[in-house]
Amino acid sequence: MSTSQKAGAAGTPQVNSRGRVIVASLIGTTVEFYDFYVYATAAVLVFPALFFPTADAATALLSSFAIFGVAFVARPLGSIVFGHFGDKFGRKGTLVASLLTMGIATFLIGCLPTALVPGWTFWAPALLVVMRFMQGLALGGEWSGAALLATENAPEGKRAIWGTFPQLGAPIGFILANGIFLGLSFGLSSDQFQAWGWRIPFLLSAVMVIVGLYVRLKLVETPAFQNVIDQGEVAKLPVGRVFKTSWRPLILGTFVMLATYVLFYLMTTFTLSYGTAASSLDAAKAAAEAKGKPMSADAIASWVPGLGYTRNEFLIMLIIGVVFFGIFTLVSGPLAEKFGRRKMLLCVTSGILVFGLTFVPLFGAGTAGVMALLILGFTLMGLTFGPMGALLPELFPTNVRYTGSAISYNVSSILGAAVAPFIAVALWQSADGSPVLVGIYLSAMAVLTLIALLIMKETRDLEYTSNVS
């Protein structure tokens, strides 16, 4: 009999055991981020050719990234919808709903016909947009619910540590998604991967969703939300209450997350595009001819050089970098408890600002330089992303915490992640293949985050369970 079951049998309030909280918060975000990264990887590797076959390479890539961004537009809506239910009816049921929504949408992407199928030239990319929107809707409610599950069950003085549990879903999901893509690319020919192999990672998500649902259905409500119920302080309209009473934290939380989002999507989506792009025009022409699609005059005129790595080479490099992301996500929790969230993030964000200015020398220093850039970038990513699991929820009272943290997190995703790959590609092209403007863009976003951190107050010692708006 588990700890929670024993407590219930004794007539005392049931609680979630530490192990159950870790697994339930971690597996949900792992599934969500896995599904999200599967799309992000496919958006670079196969979707341009499969869903935009008549466009030139640059236009097809930008179109694929545009659909990638649709999910980020949906995320604020998801934060309102799932936040409403999470603050009104509880964390547990809302987390189950968000996981189901993401899992179904991802599975269906794996079943879609492509634009290469006669009669599906319009409908294939249109349905891809719909499924991508559903993914964004689900992720809009998933992260904040998982963060609240962890932090509202955390012992005193350990919220930042427990808050890293759901944050680990990001690096684990990335490694799983890209590891599967990498394995398939080694095990299948290019034609097989292009024809049907790309579907497998999407279909496999169903297995993880089933496991995640099993764990989450065994949860009991968090003590903090149960306290809101006992006090009779459940908000009738959480989104209205949070905008009325917590508009300032909404704005600050949005900009506190900005550099984190831009950094992550530059380190994953943009670097994959830049790293695998041909390093010479002759190589680009040869690759296009090998695919049976010779470069048009417009494509030649708009072509910009990349680093010239093969897809598998760069995916391996990315996975190595993401290992550091996971390690330093765990490291960030104790640091945020010891030094405070604000002070730690001021230091890390300053590091991100400087890091953006190293793009040109590191990208230009061969494989060692590129690997150093990935390791350094993902280390900073772990240190900045880890404390967010505690910081954003701490900005809001308990009865609007799900909605408030979700809105800040996901509005920031539009300002940062939704447009970051698109802006990065445009800056890369405008600089004739140099990443200099991309690095400056990252540094500029870090400045905005530093301003928000300087304005906000430390949240480590705030009352977390009994405060209501």
Q: Which amino acid is at 229?
A: I
Displacement of CA 279 from its chain's centroid (Å): 29
Query: Residue 49 and residue 113: Cα distance in Å, rounded?
Result: 13
Helix 238-245 with 57-88: angle, nearest 10 deg:
90
Residues ≥6 apart with Cβ < 8 Å to 313: none
Token pair recorded at residue 186:
């080694």
| pLDDT score for 418 | 73
Single pTM value for the model: 0.86
- Of 151, 142, 112, 144, which is closest to residue 35 (Cα–Cα)? 142
Count other C-beta atoms under 10 Å from residue 427's C-beta: 18
SS3 437: helix
Residue 13's pLDDT is: 56
| Distance, CA of 424 to CA of 48 (rounded, Å) | 17
Contact 6, 212 (CB under 8 A): no
192-195: long-range contacts at Cβ-Cβ below 8 A with a sequence spacing of 24 or more?
A: 193/46, 194/46, 194/49, 194/50
Measured CA to CA in angstroms, residue 155 lies from 18, 150, 159, 160, 162 at distances of 10, 10, 7, 10, 9
Cβ 337 vs Cβ 157: under 8 Å: yes
249 and 411 Cβ atoms separated by less than 8 Å: no
**Confidence (pLDDT) at 10:** 45
Backbone angles phi, psi at 100, to 5 degrees: -65, -45
Residue 186 has a pLDDT of: 82
Q: For 330-367, what is the HEC assignment?
A: HHHHHHHHHHCHHHHHHHHHHHHHHHHCCHHHHHCCHH
pLDDT reported for residue 166: 93
Can you give the pLDDT of all 469 residues of the chain as single tens digits? 444 444 444 445 567 778 888 888 888 788 877 877 787 778 777 888 888 887 777 677 777 777 777 887 888 899 999 999 999 998 888 988 988 898 888 899 899 999 889 989 889 888 988 998 998 898 888 889 999 999 999 988 899 999 999 999 999 998 998 888 888 878 888 788 888 888 998 898 888 888 888 888 888 888 888 888 888 889 999 999 999 999 999 999 999 999 999 999 899 888 988 998 888 887 877 877 777 777 777 778 778 888 989 888 998 999 999 999 999 999 999 999 999 999 999 999 999 999 999 999 999 999 999 999 999 999 999 999 999 999 999 999 999 999 999 999 989 988 887 788 778 988 998 998 899 999 999 999 999 999 999 999 999 988 888 788 7
Measure the N-to-C terminal CA separation of the chain; round to a whole number of Å: 38
Residue 156 DSSP code: T
The pLDDT of residue 3 is 41
Query: Given this model, what pLDDT does residue 19 score?
Result: 82
Residues 24-62 as b or e (16 or more Cβ within 10 Å = b): bbbbbbbbbbbbbbbbbbbbbbbbbbbbbeebbbbebbb
Q: State the CB neighbour count (10 A cutoff) for residue 148.
A: 30
